[in-house]
């Protein structure tokens, strides 16, 4: 069984933080910090543990923020010497976010310095929310930084809907101010950075589908394979929803003369086993067609209603008059992001974004 996520922050990590902080500031009250940060930790979840450690930092670092920032920066790894890194820096993000707004430039510089050792995408967002123009003017310069972690922070930290983090409502409403940052990173040499750009564009697509579809259209012509992959990943929500412009960007037109027959191998699925199904697809049109075949499973919710989840499947080129049969097994097993309920579920086959066939199946929990 996987280790609970909350255990990424634990008493041993707190003691290690105390050692690094004591090395940076010999008068740091390490015993008090350890006691305050560790007290009652076992009962807390991940973000609550981070808050507890952040509160302990507030009570034990110098009350003067500039002095506290100096200690934190000095405690980062340097010249081969170990220091605050990894998940230790999640509560540091929270500390800077909570106490650093009155020292805007100093705080942004500190977040930039710590991001190579973890990430500052959580800490930076309050600064963007408070003074968007000022923050983005500074962040825009990071797209040329030699450190790829800093370049990624420019795109990841500005994501309108970053998971686990506060939303940026002004950028959710109008994402135009971050588009120059994303454009500058489209061809970044690091896949780590390009994935972040794609995720930011996908965030934007949830609120502004036409903006992202048009963005992709402008930047896909003559694109390298890496950029094309980025733009495809950025369009994933639009493609799953069958957005016509997004489909056209990748060469998919509305399917014509396509017939699909769905057959269930397992009309009754026992939880922990697999839903087996196959589709027979034929093209009655006089021209070959490029098809994106996905499927959606409509899961039963606690209240008995159905909620769909789309899964990517196949991309095929089907000649005129041609046909093809495709088999698939879909595991129905315990995952951290879904609670399963027994009852009649439904599967739909999507071809170029449109429902082409569907069938019901029963899920039994025992």
- CATH code of residue 291: 2.60.40.10
Does 95 lie in the same domain as 239? yes
Model confidence at 65: pLDDT above 80: yes
pLDDT tens readout for residues 199-237: 999 999 999 999 999 999 999 999 999 999 999 999 999
- Mean of the per-residue pLDDT values for the chain? 95
Sign of CA dihedral 241, 246, 251, 253: positive
CB 328 within 8 A of CB 345: no
Residue ending a domain, choose from 231, 249, 267: 249
Q: How far apart are CA 186 and CA 60, in angstroms?
A: 43
Helices 30-38 and 46-60 meet at what angle, rounded to 10?
150
pLDDT at 1 over 60: no
Stretch among 10-14, 250-254, 313-317, 362-366 having the lowest mean pLDDT: 250-254
Q: Give the domain CATH number at 38.
A: 1.25.40.290
| Least confident window among 43-52, 75-84, 112-121, 332-341 | 332-341
Last residue within a domain, chosen from 249, 269, 286: 249
Q: How many CA atoms lie within 13 A of 186 on its CB side?
A: 19
Average pLDDT for 282-311: 94
Q: Which among 249, 277, 305 is the end of a domain?
A: 249
Task: Kindly list the distances between the CA atom of residue 110 and the CA atoms of 90, 247, 292, in Å, as whole numbers in the listed order.
Answer: 13, 42, 46
Overall number of domains in the chain: 2
Q: Are residues 98 and 174 in the same domain?
A: yes
Average pLDDT over residues 319-338: 93
What local confidence, expressed as pLDDT, does residue 255 receive?
87
Is the pLDDT at 359 greater than 80, yes or no? yes
Query: Looking at the structure, do residues 48 and 159 belong to the same domain, yes or no?
Result: yes
288 and 154, same domain (yes or no): no
**CA–CA dist 12, 91 (Å, integer):** 15
Query: Could you tell me the CA-to-CA distances from 122 to 1, 150, 173, 232 in Å, in that order?
Result: 28, 14, 20, 26
Distance between CA 122 and CA 119 in Å, rounded? 8
- What's the pLDDT tens digit per position in 10-51? 999 999 999 999 999 999 999 999 999 999 999 999 999 999
Q: Do 245 and 274 belong together in one domain?
A: no
178 shares its domain with 305 = no
164 and 205 inside one domain: yes
Q: 242 — alpha (psi -120 to 50), left (phi > 0) or beta?
A: left
Confidence of residue 2 (pLDDT cuts 50, 70, 90): low
Q: What angle do CA 238, 164, 200 make, to 5 degrees?
A: 35
Q: Which residue has the higher pLDDT, 279 or 80?
A: 279
pLDDT of residue 101: 96
Q: State residue 254's pLDDT score.
A: 84
Task: Please check whether residues 235 and 276 belong to one and the same domain.
Answer: no
Average pLDDT, stretch 262-282? 97
pLDDT at 242: 84
In this structure, the answer to whether residues 239 and 295 fall within a common structural domain is: no
The mean pLDDT of 88-112, rounded to a whole number, is 97
In this model, does residue 3 exceed pLDDT 80?
no
Same structural domain for residues 204 and 56? yes
Judge whether 253 and 289 are in contact, CB under 8 Å.
yes
Mean pLDDT, residues 128-134 taken together? 97
Q: What is the mean pLDDT of residues 332-350?
A: 93
Range of the domain at 337: 258-364
pLDDT of 4 higher than 90? no
Same structural domain, 76 and 173: yes
Q: In terms of domains, do 63 and 28 share one?
A: yes
**354 versus 281: which is more confidently predicted?**
281
């Amino acid at each position: 069984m996987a280790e609970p996520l909350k255990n990424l922050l634990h008493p041993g990590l707190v003691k290690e933080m105390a050692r690094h902080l004591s090395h940076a500031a010999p008068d740091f009250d390490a015993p008090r910090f350890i006691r305050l940060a560790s007290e009652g930790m076992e009962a807390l979840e991940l973000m609550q543990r981070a808050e507890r450690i952040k509160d302990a930092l507030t009570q034990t670092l110098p009350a003067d923020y500039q002095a506290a920032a100096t200690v934190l920066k000095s405690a980062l790894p340097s010249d081969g010497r170990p220091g605050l890194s990894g998940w230790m820096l999640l509560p540091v993000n929270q500390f800077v976010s909570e106490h650093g707004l009155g020292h805007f430039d100093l705080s942004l510089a500190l977040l930039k310095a710590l991001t190579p050792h973890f990430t500052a995408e959580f800490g930076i967002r309050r600064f963007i929310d408070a003074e968007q123009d000022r923050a983005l003017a500074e962040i825009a310069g990071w797209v040329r930084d030699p450190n790829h972690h800093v370049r990624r922070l420019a795109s990841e930290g500005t994501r309108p809907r970053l998971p686990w983090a506060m939303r940026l409502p002004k950028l959710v409403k109008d994402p135009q101010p971050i588009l120059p940052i994303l454009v500058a990173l489209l061809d970044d040499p690091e896949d780590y950075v390009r994935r972040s750009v794609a995720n930011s564009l996908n965030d934007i697509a949830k609120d502004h589908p036409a903006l992202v579809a048009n963005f992709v259209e402008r930047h896909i012509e003559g694109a390298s394979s890496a950029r094309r992959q980025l733009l495809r990943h950025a369009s994933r929500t639009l493609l799953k929803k069958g957005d016509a412009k997004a489909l056209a960007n990748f060469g998919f037109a509305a399917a014509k003369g396509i017939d699909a027959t769905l057959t269930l191998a397992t009309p009754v699925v026992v939880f922990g086993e697999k839903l087996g199904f196959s589709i027979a697809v034929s093209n009655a049109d006089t021209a070959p067609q490029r098809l994106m075949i996905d499927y959606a499973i409509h899961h039963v919710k606690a209240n008995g209603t159905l909620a769909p989840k789309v899964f990517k499947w196949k991309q095929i080129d089907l000649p005129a008059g041609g046909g093809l049969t495709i088999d698939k097994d879909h595991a129905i097993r315990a995952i951290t992001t879904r609670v399963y309920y027994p009852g009649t579920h439904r599967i739909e086959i999507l071809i170029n974004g449109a429902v082409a066939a569907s069938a019901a199946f029963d899920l039994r929990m025992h």
